[in-house]
Amino acid sequence: MREEPRLRVAAFRPDDDRLDDAVELIESLGADPVPDPMLAIEPATADDAEATGRQVTPRSDADYVVLTSKTGVELAAEAGWDAGEATVCAIGDSTAEALHEAGYGVDIIPAEYSSTGLVETLSGAVAGARVEVARSDHGSAVLTDGLEAAGAYVHETVLYRLVRPEGSGESAELAASGDLDAALFTSSLTVEHFLDAAADLGLREAVIDGLNEATVAAIGQPTRETAEDAGISVDVVPDQADFEALACEAIEAAAPTHHE
């Protein structure tokens, strides 16, 4: 009996342990990973602080401090950030785990791992409070606007920039040729950088057509909306906003229709 060919599944995580974990997970699910990082991290520096007049480490005098990613936690810890008496909020288990590993306490994790989920969790508690949001330069305004609407005094610190790595785009070429079975988008920015890579290759329209013949998975509604606004049909948005759920549901959705 001829063996069924394996699914080709693209992952766009930063080229660190997150991409390694993604590759391992996809392989464990019986698919062939296509690791194609669409995000590279550039930490904010003292030069950035001097140029912009803004901090590059979280404030230490806030009532609430919000960390949104493992990267943000690691950079804050490296800078010697002291949480003091602040209520520390983490969006998601991976962020909370990073905080614990760095020696910080975690007071609040929203049930829904998203900016909207955290706003809903804090909305009845932050009126008149100072809330520090420490994250990347591409953080969603949903979080800061929502907290301000709840009556908080919000300060945002940019800990790092997210840029597109040089040489990205292998998955775009596969999508354009009809050889990509699933794509796992973890943020709006991964969608945007993927399409930028496709455009640089002169393949944007062919890539969108190819994705629309594949299974496309997105973490959260903002990521879904970004993809759909670009003409990409999204097939999977897991209830749990983490990569494992994203990969499992996407591969399960792609497998029944996968034929040579």
- 65 pLDDT above the threshold of 70: yes
Identify the top-confidence range among 37-51, 156-170, 200-214, 240-254: 200-214
Domain locations along the chain: 8-38+165-254, 54-162
pLDDT tens by residue, 174-185: 999 999 999 999
22, 242 contact by CB (below 8 A): no
- Indicate if 54-162 has the same CATH topology as 8-38+165-254: yes
pLDDT tens by residue, 220-230: 888 999 999 99
pLDDT tens by residue, 3-19: 567 899 999 999 988 89
Q: How far is CA 13 from CA 20, 23, 38, 40, in A?
A: 9, 10, 7, 9
* Dist CA 234 CA 224 (whole Å): 6
pLDDT of residue 50: 47
54-162 topology per CATH: Rossmann fold (3.40.50)
Quickly state the pLDDT bin for 259 (edges 50, 70, 90): very low
Q: Architecture of domain 8-38+165-254 in CATH?
A: 3-Layer(aba) Sandwich (3.40)
